[in-house]
């Protein structure tokens, strides 16, 4: 396996020493080399430690894409604390729900999120507002003190690195706790299957850097390769295509939504994509036709992988320098065991080609869900992570994802649990019953469809507005059906199989 660093901060320290003048971060007109990057991380780490936010503490990073969020993530980890990256589009109620579990004493947030943070921020030992207005400051301000890079603090591999929240089957997010050793091992596991070229890559980060996929395949990959991370504040097809041409991007982090959106953009045929040598696809299953169309149009290979936040996140990838099998998510990463087991109790290992639940064992696994011992015990059994995904292994060890055991929907790369949306609908006084399902969508991977039994006078527009005040946009149903009743099973439970079948016919 490629070299494994003790922690990601050791990796950044090495890059700053071996390639101090190499451009590390680009965002619009801003650029920072590796020595400046490490200096900013060291400056933030010192302030966090001074505030008592070191080993054993957790610090929330509630920020959109920018150079500051990259510095914040590394800075918290350099201080010895555990970083808790969160979606900067969360509403106050969503943020509060996570904070009640995280036991975080510090928060670093964008100036634009001040109103949301102010609603829930009591109890923080440190509030760090990032911006240019009154009371706000930038984390890039230490770039003018490059000597700080020489004193970059290095955490222990055995310390917690990330507390990454993912959806729960009950609608309550779960905090996946990963040690530094697990995160670093996973970076090298990915490197074995999708190798980079030291000092030569220019990586385009389109998806939000708080997402486990973007952290693994963008933030950390770029530093491992001592290469350049080009950060886009937000996704727009025109700005993505312009950035690829202007910045001579070599590696793009994609998803089904991104690939489909770019190919559907009117300027796609004229775009200069000659610099691309590789596109990675993750966060949702990539339709074979989408992959075929992209590779035919660009001449650039797409390596599709599979992962879960609970597994660092990379579990498998189609190898860049090997056979890439369309329709599969590739082979397990080095030192990763993947087995297919029966879906009932998970004890019987199924033979090659049979379909069952995927379970995984390797050095990249989480220690557990923070503060949730029962859910940890359900997911981690006998050293194996039971993924809840359904798949099969072929004769060459390539993994195919067939379905999901859980009801989770993946909307534009985000995990969404229908129960959470149902619970939000139930808060409306006029809603009597609600059932939400995920259905396939060519653009977003999946979208949510809600079926609601409501009182007279309640409209689809009323419910849409009600949800918009309580949920981040990707959790909004694309369609809300007002119905007289919901289908039931023989024991009186709402029959979502019938709803899915109806959606398929529609």
Q: In this predicted model, what pLDDT tens digit does every residue of 45-86 receive, in sequence order?
A: 999 999 999 999 999 999 999 999 999 999 999 999 999 999
- Class of domain 409-505 as given by CATH: alpha beta
Question: In angstroms, rounded to a whole number, what is the distance separating the alpha carbons of residues 307 and 246?
Answer: 31
What's the pTM value of the predicted model, to 2 decimals? 0.85
Cβ-contact 223, 190 below 8 angstroms: no
Residue 44: alpha-carbon gap to chain centroid = 24
CA nearest neighbour of 73 among 37, 36, 98: 37
Q: Cis omega before residue 126 (within 30°)? A: no
Segments making up each domain of the chain, as ranges: 8-393, 409-505
As a whole number of Å, the end-to-end CA separation of the chain is: 49
- Class of domain 8-393 as given by CATH: alpha beta
CA distances to 19, 99, 368, 493 from 178, rounded to whole Å, are: 28, 18, 8, 37
Tokens 């939400």 sit on residue: 436
* pLDDT for residue 69: 97
* pLDDT for residue 506: 56
DSSP code of residue 407: -
SS3 annotation, 241-288? HHHHHHHCCCEEEECHHHHHHHHCCCCCCCCCCCCCCEEEECCCCCCH
Task: Please report how many Cα atoms fall inside a 13 Å half-sphere around the Cα of residue 261, on the Cβ side.
Answer: 17
Those residues whose C-beta lies under 8 Å from the C-beta of residue 369, and which sit 6 or more positions away, are 174, 175, 176, 177, 375, 376, 379
Those residues whose C-beta lies under 8 Å from the C-beta of residue 257, and which sit 6 or more positions away, are 284, 412, 413, 443, 444, 445
CA nearest neighbour of 82 among 105, 61, 65, 57: 57
Task: Please report how many Cα atoms fall inside a 13 Å half-sphere around the Cα of residue 236, on the Cβ side.
Answer: 7
203-243 pLDDT per residue, tens: 999 989 999 999 999 999 999 999 999 999 999 999 999 99
More confidently predicted of 447 and 128: 447
Radius of gyration for the chain, computed over Cα atoms and rounded to the nearest angstrom: 22
248-269 pLDDT per residue, tens: 999 999 887 788 889 989 999 9
């Amino acid at each position: 396996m490629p070299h494994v660093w003790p922690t990601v901060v050791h990796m950044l320290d090495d890059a700053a020493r071996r390639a101090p003048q190499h451009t590390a971060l680009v965002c619009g007109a801003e650029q920072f080399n590796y020595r400046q990057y490490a200096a900013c991380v060291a400056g933030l780490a010192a302030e966090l430690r001074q505030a008592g936010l070191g080993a054993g503490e957790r610090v929330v990073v509630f920020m959109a894409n920018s150079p500051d969020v990259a510095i914040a993530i590394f800075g918290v980890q350099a201080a010895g604390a555990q970083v808790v990256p969160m979606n900067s589009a969360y509403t106050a109620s969503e943020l509060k729900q996570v904070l009640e579990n995280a036991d975080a004493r510090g928060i670093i947030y964008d100036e634009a999120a001040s109103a949301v943070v102010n609603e829930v921020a009591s109890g923080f030992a440190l509030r760090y507002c990032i911006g240019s207005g009154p009371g706000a400051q930038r984390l890039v301000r230490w770039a003018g003190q490059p000597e700080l890079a020489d004193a970059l603090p290095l955490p222990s591999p055995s310390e917690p690195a990330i507390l990454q929240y993912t959806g729960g089957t009950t609608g309550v997010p779960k905090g996946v706790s990963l040690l530094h050793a697990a995160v670093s091992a996973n970076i090298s596991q990915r490197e074995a299957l999708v190798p980079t070229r030291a000092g030569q890559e220019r990586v385009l980060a389109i998806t939000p850097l708080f997402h486990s996929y973007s952290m693994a395949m963008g933030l950390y990959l770029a530093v491992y390769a001592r290469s350049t991370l080009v950060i886009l504040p937000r996704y727009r097809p025109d700005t993505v295509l312009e950035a690829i041409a202007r910045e001579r991007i070599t590696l793009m982090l994609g998803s089904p939504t991104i690939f489909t959106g770019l190919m559907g953009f009117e300027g796609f045929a004229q775009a200069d994509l000659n610099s691309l040598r590789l596109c990675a696809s993750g966060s949702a299953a990539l339709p074979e036709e989408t992959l075929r169309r992209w590779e035919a149009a660009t001449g650039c290979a797409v390596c599709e992988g599979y992962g879960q936040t609970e597994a660092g996140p990379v579990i498998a990838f189609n190898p860049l320098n090997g056979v890439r099998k369309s329709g599969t998510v590739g082979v397990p990463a080095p030192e990763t065991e993947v087995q297919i087991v029966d879906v009932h109790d998970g004890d019987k290992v199924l033979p090659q080609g049979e379909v069952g639940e995927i379970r995984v064992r390797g050095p990249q696994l989480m220690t557990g869900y923070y503060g949730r011992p029962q859910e940890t015990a359900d997911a981690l059994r006998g050293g194996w992570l039971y993924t809840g995904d359904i798949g099969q292994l072929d004769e060459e060890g390539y993994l195919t994802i067939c379905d999901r055991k859980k009801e989770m929907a993946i909307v534009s790369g985000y995990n969404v649990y229908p129960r959470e949306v149902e619970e939000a609908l139930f808060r409306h006084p006029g809603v009597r019953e609600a059932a939400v399902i995920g259905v396939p969508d060519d653009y977003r991977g999946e979208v949510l469809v809600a079926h609601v039994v409501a009182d007279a006078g309640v409209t689809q527009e009323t419910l849409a507005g009600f949800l918009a005040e309580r949920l981040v946009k990707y959790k909004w149903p694309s369609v809300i059906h007002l119905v007289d009743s919901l289908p039931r099973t023989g024991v009186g439970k709402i029959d979502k199989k019938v709803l899915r079948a109806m959606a398929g016919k529609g």
